[in-house]
Amino acid sequence: MKFLIAILSASSLVFADTSDEPVVEQVTMLEQPTFTNPTLPETQLTGTIPVLPKHQRSSFLTVGLSFLVPGLGHVYLGDLKTAASLFGSTSALIGTNAFTHDAVSIITASNMWSYGIFAAYRDVRINNGQSGYTYRMPMDSLSDLTTAPFRWSVMKKPEVWGGLLGALTLGTAVSYFAFTDMHINSCSVSSNIFPLAAFSVGVGEESFFRGYLQSYLAERLNPTGAIVLSSLVFGAVHIPNAQGLDEKDRWRYYSFSLPLITSLGGYMGWLTHKNRSLKSSVALHAWYDFTLFLAGTLAAPTAVVGKPQFAYSFEF
């Protein structure tokens, strides 16, 4: 109703100013509009259409709904277009997996779900005008993140290409010395994953752990504490990767692989905090996993790096 009143007020003033007849001008000056709302600011009565503030939304509820159903948090925000996109794409991927039993589709669906959680937290803050928030979180869009590994402006940064080379070197060293007697088939958990799935993994995991979780923790702790704690959680969720190994090899995975994964998570957390963007960490993460998935697909000739029956054994 206030919006309609403002439009009517503006229209009446426009018509009054453009009138050339003296009688009409006198009537306009003498008349007192009976529809004026005394609570409206003066600027709304001089032809300016008001920009009404959005309702403040609960970030906890927005993110919680997105945890339950992809896009549901955006329904709560009133952004039905984004909600339909997230729900539709995730549902289509899950449906594809039901018919084809293709691991790539279910991996991509889970990563789209993870991105939706980050997007819900990002968009509720935008909806609230960043009011009450102290940490400047990443604001990347889905297109920003999916194209990041292929952008020269991202990959040319020393902390990205240098970090990638360092991560691959450390991963090779840990696998070489810690898993020397493991058979390639039991060691390479990535052998059945299509390499291009790495790019959705990079987007999904970085969106959730560095985009949402790290930003959320930084609001309650501090940037350093947020990087450390989110990296520990990141390492912990990789514990199930060792369930297919025997007891001895599982212990070595916990002793060597998990600390490396956690440390690399911390490095990507630092990248995100430094740049206030997920593009660098997504690019590093995606190309690291792509290398491992490709090595697993090509099997022994590519995966073996020096010792018989040895493979590059883990991804993050």
- pLDDT bracket for residue 110 (50, 70, 90): very high
* pLDDT score for 102: 81
* pLDDT score for 245: 78
pTM here is 0.77
Give me the sign of the Cα torsion angle 219, 66, 118, 121.
Answer: negative
* pLDDT score for 299: 53
Q: Is 115 in contact with 203 (CB distance < 8 Å)?
A: yes
Q: How far apart are CA 59 and CA 122, in angstroms?
A: 9
Residue found by looking up tokens 């995730």 in the block? 90
pLDDT tens-place string over residues 183-223: 433 344 444 578 899 999 999 999 999 999 999 999 999 99
Q: Is 254 in contact with 239 (CB distance < 8 Å)?
A: yes
pLDDT at residue 4 greater than cutoff 70: no
pLDDT at residue 300 greater than cutoff 50: no
pLDDT tens-place string over residues 32-65: 444 344 444 444 444 455 554 568 999 999 999 9
What is the overall mean pLDDT for the chain?
A: 80
Q: How far apart are CA 148 and CA 144, in angstroms?
A: 6
Question: pLDDT > 90: what percent of the chain?
Answer: 57
* pLDDT score for 181: 57
pLDDT, mean of residues 241-269: 89
* pLDDT score for 296: 74
* pLDDT score for 17: 41
- Indicate the helix (H) or strand (E) that contains 224: helix 223-236
pLDDT tens-place string over residues 139-158: 999 999 999 999 999 999 99
pLDDT, mean of residues 88-109: 90
